[in-house]
C-alpha cells in the first residue's frame, strides 16, 4: 500500500491535533500558541494556519477528534437510565481529566471568537442537543414522559446546571450531581397517574 498525499495529510493533521492536546494539557490554553504546536509537531506554522485560522479553531478540532462518533444515547426503554448513561459519559469527557480544563477554555474562547462559537454550536452543542431531544421525543411517544412537556425546555433544564457548574461555580461535575439533576427533572416531567 502506497503512502498517498491524502494519507500523509491525514497523518499530519492527526499529529498536529494530538500535539495541540498534549501541549494544552502541559501549559494550559492561555500559553498555547500555533507556533509552539508547529514546533513540537514538526509542522510549518503556515501549514497550521492554512487549516485553522486561530488557536481556538485548532483546539476545537482537536477536542472534537476525541469523540468523533458523538455521544450517542442508548435506548433501553428506560429514559432516565439512558439519560444517566449518556450524561455521565458527557461529564467524563467534558469535565474530567485530562481534557476538562481545555473544554472550559474552548467555551470561554467561543465567547470572544464568533467563528469558534458558531463551529462549536454547529459541530458539537447543536448535534448533542438534537440527540437529546430525539431521545426525549422517543420516550414521550412511548409514554415514559408527560405528553405536554416541552422537550426543548427539558434539554435546557438538563444542560443548564451542567454548564453552570462547569463554567460559573467551577465545582466538580460528578455523576452524583448528574443524578440529582435527573431526579429533580423526572419529578416534574414523568407521566401523571390518576389516583
Q: What is the tens place of the pLDDT at every residue in 21-55? A: 999 999 999 999 999 999 999 999 999 999 999 99
What SS3 class is residue 9?
helix
Residues of the chain with CATH 1.10.357.10: 65-189
| Alpha-helix residue ranges (DSSP H) falling in 164-194 | 175-189
Sign for the pseudo-dihedral over CA of 134, 172, 108, 71: negative
| Residue 90 confidence (pLDDT) | 85
Residues of the chain with CATH 1.10.10.60: 5-51
The residues, any chain, with a CB within 8 Å of residue 101's CB and separated by 6 or more, are 25, 28, 29
Q: Is 65-189 a CATH 3.40.228.10 domain?
A: no
With a cut of 50, list the residues of the chain below it in pLDDT. Answer: 1
Cell of 82: 439512558
Nearest to 103 by CA among 74, 125, 122, 87: 125
| Residue 194 confidence (pLDDT) | 52
For residues 90 and 32, the answer to whether their CB atoms sit within 8 Å is no
Distance CA 149, CA 130 (A): 16
Cell of 69: 462518533
| Residue 187 confidence (pLDDT) | 80
What SS3 class is residue 92?
helix
Distance CA 26, CA 19 (A): 10
| Residue 122 confidence (pLDDT) | 92
Distance CA 140, CA 168 (A): 32
Nearest to 56 by CA among 19, 29, 37: 29
| Residue 184 confidence (pLDDT) | 87
Return the CATH class of domain 5-51. mainly alpha
Q: In the chain, how many H helices and how many E strands?
A: 10, 0
Distance CA 16, CA 105 (A): 19
| Residue 56 confidence (pLDDT) | 92
For residues 59 and 106, the answer to whether their CB atoms sit within 8 Å is yes
Cell of 181: 439533576
pTM listed for this prediction: 0.78
Amino acid at each position: 500500500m502506497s503512502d498517498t498525499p491524502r494519507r500523509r495529510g491525514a497523518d499530519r493533521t492527526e499529529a498536529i491535533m494530538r500535539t495541540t492536546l498534549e501541549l494544552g494539557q502541559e501549559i494550559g490554553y492561555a500559553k498555547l500558541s500555533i507556533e509552539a504546536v508547529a514546533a513540537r509537531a514538526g509542522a510549518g506554522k503556515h501549514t497550521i494556519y492554512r487549516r485553522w485560522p486561530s488557536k481556538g479553531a485548532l483546539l476545537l478540532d482537536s477536542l472534537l477528534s476525541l469523540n468523533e462518533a458523538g455521544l450517542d444515547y442508548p435506548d433501553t426503554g428506560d429514559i432516565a437510565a439512558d439519560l444517566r448513561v449518556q450524561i455521565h459519559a458527557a461529564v467524563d469527557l467534558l469535565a474530567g481529566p485530562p481534557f476538562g480544563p481545555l473544554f472550559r477554555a474552548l467555551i470561554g474562547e467561543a465567547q470572544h471568537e464568533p467563528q469558534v462559537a458558531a463551529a462549536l454550536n454547529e459541530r458539537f452543542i447543536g448535534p448533542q442537543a438534537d440527540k437529546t431531544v430525539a431521545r426525549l421525543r422517543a420516550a414521550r411517544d412511548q409514554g415514559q414522559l408527560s405528553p405536554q412537556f416541552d422537550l426543548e425546555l427539558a434539554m435546557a433544564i438538563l444542560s443548564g446546571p451542567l454548564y453552570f457548574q462547569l463554567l460559573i461555580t467551577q465545582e466538580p461535575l460528578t455523576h452524583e450531581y448528574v443524578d440529582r439533576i435527573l431526579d429533580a427533572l423526572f419529578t416534574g416531567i414523568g407521566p401523571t397517574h390518576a389516583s
